[in-house]
Chains A and B, each alone.
Chain A
């Protein structure tokens, strides 16, 4: 730690310029300095906190909304990450300098790469949060800084000529909100393969011709993000290859593992209540303790004796999550399906496989985990004939209203719920539904999983499904960690003896050699 504070004095503007020329980084080069283990941990935990915040806000708010930005702003300055463009080092200020913040941004990103390169799931989570974080920061830059950023990082994208622009004028105007007749002329349009701007293609917010998209300058963030994503996922794959070296390092290994476990929270796949629920209990439970999405699927199944693939997956995994055994699940589905068009023989041939698959008994033997709200809400929206999805997100408000009425929700309750739905706060709407169904004022938890809904309900009602281990307050949840030790405190990472900790420095870059 001595080392740390001594160096601090030497750093001035020159060094900020040289190492971190721009407030937003593309993370092209790994850090080359040595850092102490305690700093290593503090940085990592702080960034993790930041990414968790990014994740949580992303669920509750529209990613470009004011609230989203405000809350993230606050978290940024809280955790001492570089924030807003024109932070001026010369101005007298308390707390870390701009250089220190940028350094923290840089190093912490690379530490988490180490922790999050290990599996496909971890990588996906990490990339997603880093991208959201990057988008938020990029959107904050303003056009002058964007230009500087592109230049600093050598990013050049192909722009179209004035003639081409004139020819495509109408199409360009009708393809994007960002373009109007008066702005086309003075605006740059980038022409890139459609694969590089999938988000714009998916939502039809860009003009597409012959396999190329024509992106107005306003939307350049899409291209840059795509670039960022591609580089990051490549880099993570490379880092994963050098992982054996990290894993054999007995000081880093526990730390990294611990970091990478912190993100998932409860995944509701391992149940303590397994086998505690009998098939006869399902009907009453579905009325009392199911969230709306599952109640709808259950009803649909009982009525039509069939569910399409999306519904079988969503409901099947949920059932596994509330504690049904494989045998129970097979019995449950079979007994319902044979009442419809499927005979027992066909069931065994066509459906039993996928149920065993859900329990990890067939095929790749991946143990599927029950879907979270985010997954239900964001991926695989229901189409013709489907009954899966989240009713708060995927039902017409009118039908949702009718459904709630039929479940005897009070008119004022219904209007509260519909208000939340209108603001796109689906999970909050669901939570309100929970409160109304259980006649409580404040549910006291924040809903992010249908199985969580079920478990909380069972806890309140004292039912058999409550025996689930509650892990909300586990100690490796960074959000519940005590505040970071200040640099002058004695460091105490993990359970290492103090003198070792003071001595250890890590050549971080050795793990990123191929990157």
Chain B
């Protein structure tokens, strides 16, 4: 499809069109306004823009949706980041007494980036991704989404494709937005199993008792492990790959396995041998040996950037921002169809801009003619514009997410008023 071809050079020409006719401002504002429950929640939110030539402007803030819209259409940011809700309007942060300008709330966010898996994927490295390693993101989302919901009790987790090589999660529940820095870091650490940098070989260490959370996570990994790791990444294929796995095992097991592997070449059988040796070891030794689980986790478990999740004032790339390098829109991911999500299918800005030029359907034509009221027609045209592009299904998904939150808010209100009646 030639239309999808994106060239970085065309970005300055496409952005005005995108912000004028396609960017879902009303949903965007509805999201960050959170039902208007807390005063100035939208107004005190920090946005930051990356403009042409990497010029970075922080502490932007807007009083209304209209103002945001106007400003974005004027500045045409290459990239949009969202920051915290502050005690004062961020664009006036210089005028308030120092120390009193403080980040108060923000969604709990997670950032998972494929480059952090470089030591365990053989298909690509650095910023590159392919359908093979994308499975890692699928696993990451499955594991974290389950834990955020079942363990932490959050309901409104928005998963977003970053536009290039990773995914973001925005946990939008009120309780999540109010978490302290200490609580955020505790959550992030609870969710981190892979530890250590370049200087650590064995990055996952399990000991008795195995926490239910680890068990649940393993259940997820198990579903993908054979297909992804054994066949896809061939982690028990080449000598080099085998050595890397064996380095994670106790000395005696390593030796025995090397022997077996001389005659046994099939990766799945090799894995079965390794697994049964772990089970044997567990029945004989008094201290737990969980090395097969450790390997599975080291190769597949999500690697979080804890620092991103920790800070209340940390900025994260906004949904529906464009990725300047790939031109892809940062779109919400539908968890009901997670296994089919293909990052290379995500529309680029060039594609959706081109789609706008395609002739309108009859129905749309009629609509425009009928409606004489100019202002309203303008509004409605924009509403419909994105609907004519491949962006439509993602905006719809976003709408559903917002509906879900509105629904919860209503529930809260009802509960509170019921409580009052009781007194």
Interface residues of A (CB under 8 A from B): 170-171, 173-177, 194-195, 198-199, 201-204, 207-212, 296, 309-310, 346, 349-350, 364-365, 380-389, 391, 394-396, 398-400
Contact = CB atoms under 8 A, between A and B. Distances in A.
Given A174-B210, A211-B154, A396-B202, A349 B179 contact: no
A211 B152 contact: yes
A386 B202 contact: no
B153 A381 contact: no
Nearest to B147: A208
Contacts of A211: 151-154, 175
A396 B213 contact: no
A5 B186 CA distance: 50
A391 B151 CA distance: 34
Nearest to A199: B186
B222 interface: no
B212 A171 contact: yes
Interface in B32-64: 54-56
A199 B186 CA distance: 7
A383 B197 contact: yes
Interface string B165-201: 0000000000100011011011101101011111111
16 contacts: A174-B212, A198-B183, A199-B186, A202-B185, A202-B186, A208-B213, A211-B152, A296-B199, A382-B196, A382-B198, A382-B199, A383-B305, A384-B118, A384-B119, A384-B197, A385-B116
Interface string B145-169: 0000011111000000000000000
A23 B180 CA distance: 32
Nearest to A380: B307
Contacts of B192: 383
Given A174-B209, A381-B196, 6 more contacts: A202-B186, A383-B195, A385-B116, A386-B197, A396-B200, A399-B199
Contact of A394 (B183, B196, B305): B196
Centre residue among B54, B152, B179 by max chain A CB count within 10 A: B152
B201 to A, nearest CB: 5
A383 B189 CA distance: 12
B137 to A, nearest CB: 15
A210 B201 contact: no
Given A202-B186, A364-B98, A174 B215 contact: yes
B171 to A, nearest CB: 12
B375 interface: no
Size category of the B interface is: 35 or more
B323 interface: no
Contact of A387 (B98, B151, B198): B198
A356 to B, nearest CB: 15
Interface of B: 54-56, 98, 115-119, 150-154, 175, 179-180, 182-183, 185-187, 189-190, 192, 194-202, 209-215, 303, 305-307
B178 to A, nearest CB: 9
A210 B215 contact: no
B270 to A, nearest CB: 25
A163 B201 CA distance: 44
B212 A207 contact: yes
A201 B190 contact: yes
Contacts of B215: 174
B212 A195 contact: no
A385 B197 contact: yes
Nearest to B56: A349
A381 B179 contact: no
B49 to A, nearest CB: 14
B197 A394 contact: yes
Contacts of A212: 153
A349 B183 CA distance: 33
A207 B119 CA distance: 32
Nearest to A211: B153
B158 to A, nearest CB: 18
Nearest to A206: B211
Contact of B199 (A171, A203, A391): A391
Given A383-B195, A398-B201, A399-B199, A175 B209 contact: yes
A387 B196 CA distance: 9
Contacts of B209: 173-177
A359 to B, nearest CB: 18
Contacts of A384: 116-119, 194, 197, 303
A365 B101 CA distance: 14
B186 A383 contact: no
A189 to B, nearest CB: 15
A478 B179 CA distance: 38
A208 B152 contact: yes
B154 to A, nearest CB: 7
A386 B198 contact: yes
B56 to A, nearest CB: 7
Contacts of A349: 54-56
Contacts of A399: 199-201
A382 B197 contact: yes
A172 to B, nearest CB: 9
A391 B196 CA distance: 11
A176 B209 CA distance: 7
Contact of A210 (B117, B153, B195, B202): B153
B175 A381 contact: no
B153 A383 contact: no
A315 to B, nearest CB: 14
A168 to B, nearest CB: 10
A309 B310 CA distance: 15
B215 to A, nearest CB: 7
Contacts of B179: 195
B157 to A, nearest CB: 13
A194 B195 CA distance: 23
Contacts of B55: 349
A349 B185 CA distance: 29
Given A174-B212, A208-B190, A383-B303, A194 B152 contact: yes
A301 to B, nearest CB: 13
B202 A309 contact: no
A296 B183 CA distance: 31
